[in-house]
Amino acid sequence: MHLPLGLPEPRPVPPGQYSAWDRALALLNRDLAATLPGVEPLRLFALPADDPNEPEYVFVALSNGEWHGSQLDPDSRATPAAALAAVADAAQETVMELLWQAWPLCPEHGLGMHPETDAEDQVSWWCAGARSRSGSAHVHRAVGELAAVSTPLPPARP
Ligand SMILES: [Zn+2]
C-alpha cells in the first residue's frame, strides 16, 4: 500500500525573501483593509516549480493559503511598478474568485476596477465607468491609496 502522491504543500513565504513583492503586497493590503475590513491581509505562498531548475512559483493567497490564478511572473520583481502591477492582478484574482466579489469597487460607479500602469510607472485602479461628459474611463486612486481621505480628484493631465 502506498499513500497517493500528494501535491507539495504550499509554503508560506517569510517576509524579506521577495522584498519587491512584499512591498507591493503591503500596498495591496492597505487597500484590502480599507475596502474589505473583515478580510485578513493577503500573503505570499510558494510551491516548487514542476522543473526543479526553474524558480519556485509564488502566489498571492488569502491568509489561509488559498489562491486562485497563476503565479507571479519572476521578472516582475525588476521594478516596483512591475511588482505592484503583478501583485495587484494576482490579489484581485484571488479575492474575486475565492470571496466571490468584484474588488475593488469604484465608489462612483460600483464597478470592479483594474490595475493599470501609466507612462510614469504609477500603478492605479482604473474604472471603466464613464464620468459625465468626458465619457471615458477614469483613474480612481493609486494602488495602496484607497484608504486616503476623500478629496476631489485632481484634474486629469492634458
Ligand atoms: Zn468609476
Ligand 1 center from residue 129 Cα (angstroms) = 5
Sheet holding 138-142, edge to edge: 114-117, 123-127, 138-142
96 pLDDT more than 90: yes
Over the stretch 134-152, which tens digit does the pLDDT of each residue have?
A: 667 899 999 999 987 544 4
**CB-based neighbours (< 5 A) of ligand 1, an ion:** 106, 108-109, 127, 129
Return d(Cα 106, Cα 70) in angstroms, integer: 25
Ligand 1 center from residue 12 Cα (angstroms) = 35
Ligand 1 center from residue 140 Cα (angstroms) = 7
Ligand 1 center from residue 101 Cα (angstroms) = 17
* Contact predicate 125/148, CB 8 Å: no
Mean pLDDT of the chain: 89
State the distance between the two ends of the chain, measured CA to CA, in whole angstroms: 70
Q: What is the pLDDT of residue 52?
A: 87
Return d(Cα 12, Cα 103) in angstroms, integer: 24
Ligand 1 center from residue 78 Cα (angstroms) = 30
Ligand 1 center from residue 130 Cα (angstroms) = 7
112 pLDDT more than 70: yes
Ligand 1 center from residue 47 Cα (angstroms) = 36
Q: What is the pLDDT of residue 12?
A: 96
- b (16+ CB within 10 A) / e for 54-78: eeebbbbbbeeeebbbebbebebbe
Over the stretch 21-57, which tens digit does the pLDDT of each residue have?
A: 999 999 999 999 999 999 999 999 999 998 889 999 9
Beta bridge partners of 138: 127
Ligand 1 center from residue 113 Cα (angstroms) = 8
The percentage of residues in the chain with a pLDDT greater than 70, rounded to a whole number, is 87
The percentage of residues in the chain with a pLDDT greater than 90, rounded to a whole number, is 75
In 3D space, the residue among 97, 125, 130 whose CA is nearest the CA of residue 112 turns out to be 125
Mean pLDDT over 4-14 rounds to: 81
156 pLDDT more than 50: yes
Ligand 1 center from residue 9 Cα (angstroms) = 40
98 pLDDT more than 90: yes
Q: What is the pLDDT of residue 151?
A: 47
